[in-house]
A and B are shown apart, each in its own frame.
Chain A
Amino acid sequence: MSEAYQPARILNQGSTQEKAEGARLSNFVGAIALSDLISTTLGPKGMDKILQSPSNLLDSTITNDGATILGSIQISNPAAKILIEISKVQDDEIGDGTTSVVVLAGELLKEAEKLIHKRIHPQTIIKGFRLAKNIAIKKLREIAQDHSENEEDLKKYLKKIAMTIFSTKILTPYKSIFADLAVESILRLKGSTNLESIQILKKTGGLLKESYIEEGFVLDKKLGVGQPKRIENAKILVANTSMDYDKIKIFGSRVVVNSSSKLAEIEEEEKKKMLRKCQKIVDHGINVFINRQLIYNLPEQFFTDHGVVSIEHADFAGIERLSLVTGGEIVSTFDHPELVTLGTAKVIEEIMIGEDKLIRFSGCKEPSACTIVLRGSSKQILDEAERSLHDGLAVLSQMVKNPKTVLGAGCTEIIMAQAIEEAAKETSGKIQIAMESFARALTRIPIIIASNAGYDAEQLVSELKTSHYKGNTTFGVDVMEGKVCDVQKLGIIESFLVKQGMLLKASEATEMILRVDHIMSSAPRRRGMN
């Protein structure tokens, strides 16, 4: 046999390819493994994961947040990468539901795998899934309750939603406290989704439940030496300018002198220049000066002498927030005091949180600004609390814009699944089987939640299904008690947007993975090549 009849290799050395069944298998295995990995964190009794960074073994994170977990594990399977991506997008867009989106996609793929074993073409499965998704979304829109009319009502519902979100996180024991914190800070925003003006400040020490909301803005910095610790009716200049040594920015300039006296002269001139700048700043008629960059002793001394309080090295985000809350613009040149808008605050004072001294700005121009001070016994707890709180705030801020809610505790999933099953009965052909599979995947979510809580999940969920068939469409699984009950009474409600995002993204990713019948991987780039 001559060589010509051997299969031709056409790809680069080291590249691999997987075809048809092999490719599909590898996709399913990867995606399902990932979703299994994360499914244990789902629900109020879900477990946490420790993430250890490969470079620094001492640096570990303990979390329950899907996006955080998925963001830090390193995966080479392409299908799993797609799932990680959707979780990230869900986080960016809505903020919560990052775990459930991946779990749902994983369950959908599990069902699809079974269908492919039955020799149903992937495109037929996709068609069925699409149909089912559309029915589910339609049903979801139908059952969603709109609370936009009544403001008092809205507040109540926001709190409930926040409680539902926090009940799956580390904040569970104090969810009521945190729900209040979150709702209060969100309502201050008055409909804006700009979470920038809510600052979360983490301070180790104390207990989680000692966290509180601080009116105004808290800056984790110290006031200059020898300056007053409390300023009333502050006029603030927020600046971004160098106050250490202000070099001349003309290219190629340097100081060349031939005697020490000349050097002294130039030094003197430099000092004068700095003092002139300080004078200009003081001429703005301010009593507080905040700079992004360092302030050296000389200008600080000058400010103290002129009764201006200076705060140095407020970082970039800090400066932007400060300018937002105090209403002052960020200034870099000081020649035209009449053009500059100054920031204002009723009181600026140094406060103590735990052991640390911080500066609080209260009575600012922008009333929406507030700071949530988180207390907790360790860095890990604080980090996780911050993530949870951020999830809650993100969802709530979207909720204010689109105040639609659906029932939680698996109730909505069952309603959608049953709507799909109903519609499937009227659809003929293989598509019907695919639709039924979609419905099954949806019911897996309450099953996983219940089994994470240690109950006989299949039993519970089948009871739940029966009660829905009997017409009790507000029933769900109570994971605390381990029985089926009326969710409406329990007050477990979730945001419509989270559920919708979960459905859309999971089915889009599933479709994408199902459409693939060939994976070609290039050889990894060799190190040292470039």
Chain B
Amino acid sequence: MLRYDSSGKPFIIIRDQDQKERLTGSEARKANILAAMTVANLMKTSIGPLGMDKILVDQDGEVTATNDGATILKNMQVENPIAKLLVELSQGQDDEIGDGTTSVVVFAGALLEESLSLLEKGIHPSKISEGYEKACDIAVQHLISICDKIEFDKEDCSSLIKAAKTSLGSKIVNQYTDKIAKISVEAVLAVADLERKDVRFDLIKLEGKTGGTLGQTELIDGIIIPKNFSHPQMPKQIKNAKIAILTCPFEPPKPKTGHKLDIDSVKKYKELLEIEQNYFKKMTDLVKKSGATVVLCQWGFDDEANHLLLQKELPAVRWVSGTDIELIAIATGARIVPRFSELTPKKLGKAGMVTEKSLGTTDEKMIVIEKCSNTKTVTILVKGGNKMVVEEGKRSIHDALCVTRNLIKDNRIVYGGGAVEISCSVALNKASKEIKGIEQYSIRAFSQALLSVPIALASNSGLNSLEAVSEIQLKQMKEEKPFFGIDCLSKGTSNMKEQNVFDTLRGKIQQFLLATQMAKMILKIDDIIRPTGQY
């Protein structure tokens, strides 16, 4: 990149120019699009109930096997800036909706792929962007026009379970979908506020445990903390527990200001000794006096304090993690107490039952807090044959929880199995005919890109993808019904309404918007400057 002044001397515009390389104009665009397509192609095989998993090995050699788009991309250690954008795209979908993290990336990749041929035709990228913007608007309008509403209440949640099942269908848990979908929905309903259409996710805890199979996953009405009572002889079960939650250690205080305490006479020595012993007594007395029957502490206990707690019949748990403490405080209505002196009976939480349970032949113990008084809190205990299965199970359940929550917030749905994408694509094709100018091309490209998801779905299911998709297109046009999709599991019908495969409207709209935004952003880039020898 050189410019010359009037005397013919070059200006240097970019520092260390010789060590950087630069791509401009269409080359830059193509390089970017190619990078995005690489990522999208990588994800394509994970779509749908017969999609495949990926193994990710992290820097320390730990293995993760997963089907979750966001998790794959997050752990991929991507370096290319465009690929990083896609990682964030999927992250955005995950944060907002929690499901559809793979499809959004595949769709964005397809949009860019289509724009490649438009660029070759000589259409200006900003024109393409405008067209995409318009197409996205039309698609969203169409989505809203074809959506269905599902009805449910606390008693009849069968429709929610069906939605959760669609989400779980593509994951490793799919042989137990019935059970796990039910658990997920029950968990969400337990903490949901249907009137306000709000779900507090922090009241659902996912706890993993190796051993058994995924089918033994269970919903526990209460909270599990992977800890045990601090003294082996404390009672293992406490009924109608009053819980004191402390964030101060059972140890003599450590003032934060630097100080020294000099012992220079026997008298002082005796005094200090007395003070020390009184500390422990006072602490346990204060706890006892408040009427607590169970003590949960974020910090450790001194041996002597521990014994005093035992003597006072105060079962206690030490080193409880901060998040657990908060959750328990919410659930039992307890106040988190930072100082012993501030402990009052009012600040105690209540729970119907606190038990210590052991599992398997190893002595791993868990504390279960059930029937909490204040807010409903539930824990899903995920079991599985190995660590990776448990982790993947947790991720899958998280997705199902998200879907259920979204439906509670907004009960409008669209049909899955590629049905909506095909329907939107058909609608866009129709609409494009009435639009003048170059935009028509980009709208058509958008409609083509929409088909990428059903195509990937069909090819992952071992069908002749193009044939299957065009067949559905025809069928939808003929019967003018938006619920025909790809029959991935060879159930013999392409009617997704019958197969009960559906997604949330919110999730779909979000997918379209995010992917379009991303495509537009990447199309706008026309210059890449980078140090040589990088990627």
The interface of chain A, by Cβ under 8 A from chain B, is 2-5, 7-13, 15, 20, 23, 27, 76, 78-79, 81-82, 85-86, 88-89, 92-95, 121-124, 130, 193-196, 240-241, 248-258, 262, 265-266, 268-270, 273, 320, 323-324, 329-333, 336, 339-341, 394, 397-398, 504-505, 508-509, 511-512, 515-525
Contact = CB atoms under 8 A, between A and B. Distances in A.
B57 A518 contact: no
A3 B61 CA distance: 33
B493 interface: no
Given A76-B57, A323-B232, 11 more contacts: A10-B35, A13-B79, A78-B65, A82-B65, A123-B462, A253-B263, A254-B263, A329-B231, A332-B306, A508-B213, A522-B77
Given A5-B30, A516-B55, A330 B252 contact: no
Given A4-B23, A85-B386, A248-B273, A78 B57 contact: yes
B362 to A, nearest CB: 5
Contacts of A340: 311
Given A11-B76, A196-B363, A252-B259, A519 B55 contact: yes
B63 A516 contact: no
Contacts of B308: 332-333
A302 B78 CA distance: 69
Contacts of B122: none
Interface stretch (B37-45, B184-192, B217-225): B37-45
Contact of A10 (B80, B310, B385, B389): B80
B35 A508 contact: no
Interface in B31-82: 31, 34-35, 38-39, 42, 45, 50, 52-61, 63, 65, 67, 72, 75-80, 82
Contacts of A23: 55
Interface stretch (B138-146, B155-163, B264-272): B264-272
A284 to B, nearest CB: 13
A262 B265 contact: yes
A96 to B, nearest CB: 10
Contact of B55 (A27, A195, A250, A329): A27
A399 to B, nearest CB: 12
Residue with the highest number of chain B CB atoms closer than 10 Å, among A252, A262, A519? A252
A251 B261 CA distance: 8
A333 B280 contact: yes
A248 B276 contact: yes
10 tightest A-B CB contacts, nearest first: A332-B307, A517-B52, A10-B83, A521-B57, A4-B30, A8-B35, A525-B59, A508-B385, A85-B386, A10-B80
Contact of B386 (A249, A266, A505): A505
B233 A339 contact: no
Residue with the highest number of chain A CB atoms closer than 10 Å, among B260, B263, B384? B263
B76 A520 contact: yes
Interface in B344-380: 358, 360-363
A518 B55 contact: yes
B262 interface: yes
A512 B308 CA distance: 50
Contact of A241 (B35, B262, B270, B304): B304
A78 B55 contact: yes
A130 B279 CA distance: 61
18 contacts: A9-B535, A10-B39, A10-B79, A11-B79, A13-B79, A81-B63, A89-B210, A256-B264, A265-B265, A320-B232, A333-B304, A336-B311, A397-B361, A518-B54, A519-B57, A521-B56, A523-B77, A525-B59
A165 to B, nearest CB: 14
A276 B179 CA distance: 63
B251 A249 contact: yes
B231 A330 contact: yes
Contact of B266 (A121, A124, A265, A397): A265
Given A266-B263, A508-B386, A249 B31 contact: no
Given A4-B23, A4-B30, A505 B385 contact: yes
Contacts of A262: 264-265
Nearest to A18: B55
B273 A273 contact: yes
B105 to A, nearest CB: 12
A521 B57 CA distance: 4
Nearest to A246: B273
A258 B45 CA distance: 80
B23 to A, nearest CB: 7
Contacts of B385: 86, 89, 504-505, 508-509
Residue with the highest number of chain A CB atoms closer than 10 Å, among B272, B386, B387? B386
A253 B60 CA distance: 43
Residue with the highest number of chain B CB atoms closer than 10 Å, among A76, A250, A397? A250
B61 A76 contact: yes
A267 B79 CA distance: 66
Contacts of B59: 522-525
B65 A394 contact: no
Given A85-B387, A332-B306, A515-B172, A339 B54 contact: no
B211 A89 contact: yes
Contacts of B303: 240-241, 332
A92 B362 contact: yes
A524 B272 CA distance: 53
A8 B60 contact: no
B8 interface: no
A186 to B, nearest CB: 12
Contact of B269 (A89, A266, A397): A266
Interface in B4-47: 23, 26-28, 30-31, 34-35, 38-39, 42, 45
Nearest to B257: A252
